[in-house]
């Protein structure tokens, strides 16, 4: 059986949004203290026994999260046409982080977006 490593790091940010055409309170301006879990995967360890340094994952993820932190998500260019739902936020974060971290040995595994302690979305583009 081939070995596989999945590394996960956690980040958070605060942002507000309103859901367009939503038939309830979430159509109103409201905010969340979002939490995200970035998971990367690979099978080949480097010369010191790491897939990738957690600092490297976090550095790239923080760059992307900084675009959203303390903003009104509806004003972000990505969400001009898309509703800033947890699902769409997960896709945005996944693809932006993936474009920065992708290498010959490390790929994105999944990204989880928590809008509160009880509700989350897990997104991946794996087969």
What per-residue confidence (pLDDT) applies to 38?
A: 98
What's the confidence (pLDDT) of residue 2? 84
CB 115 within 8 A of CB 86: yes
Tens-digit pLDDT string for the chain (127 aa): 789 999 999 999 999 999 999 999 999 999 999 999 999 999 999 999 999 999 999 999 999 999 999 999 999 999 999 999 999 999 999 999 999 998 899 999 999 999 999 999 999 997 6
- Is 32 known to sit in a ligand binding site? yes
Can you list the alpha helix ranges (DSSP code H) found in the chain? 54-68, 86-101
Query: Quick one: pLDDT at residue 1?
Result: 75
CA distance linking residue 61 with residue 100, whole number of Å: 8
Which residues is 10 bridged to in the sheet? 37
Domain residue limits, the chain? 5-123
17 appears as a binding residue in the annotation: yes
Residue 76, marked binder: no
**Taking Cα atoms as reference points, which of 66, 59, 49, 36 lies closest to residue 5?**
49
Architecture of domain 5-123: 2-Layer Sandwich (3.30)
pLDDT for 32 equals 97
pLDDT of residue 6: 98
- Which residues are known catalytic residues? 26, 70, 115
pLDDT for the residue 127 = 66
Q: How many CB atoms lie within 10 A of CB 114?
A: 18
pLDDT of residue 92: 98
Predicted TM-score of the model (pTM): 0.95
Q: What does the alpha-carbon distance between residue 89 and residue 56 come to, in Å, rounded to a whole number?
A: 22
């Amino acid at each position: 059986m081939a070995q596989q490593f999945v590394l996960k790091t956690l980040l958070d940010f605060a942002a507000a949004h309103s859901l367009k055409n939503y038939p309830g309170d979430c159509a109103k301006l409201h905010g969340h203290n979002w939490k995200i879990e970035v998971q990367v995967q690979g099978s080949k360890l480097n010369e010191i026994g790491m897939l990738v340094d957690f600092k490297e994952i976090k550095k790239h993820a923080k760059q992307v999260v900084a675009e959203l932190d303390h903003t009104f998500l509806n004003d972000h260019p990505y969400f001009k046409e898309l509703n800033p739902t947890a699902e769409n936020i997960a896709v945005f974060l996944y693809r932006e982080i993936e474009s920065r971290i992708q290498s010959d040995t490390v790929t994105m595994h999944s990204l989880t977006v928590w809008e509160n302690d009880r509700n989350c979305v897990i997104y991946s583009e794996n087969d």
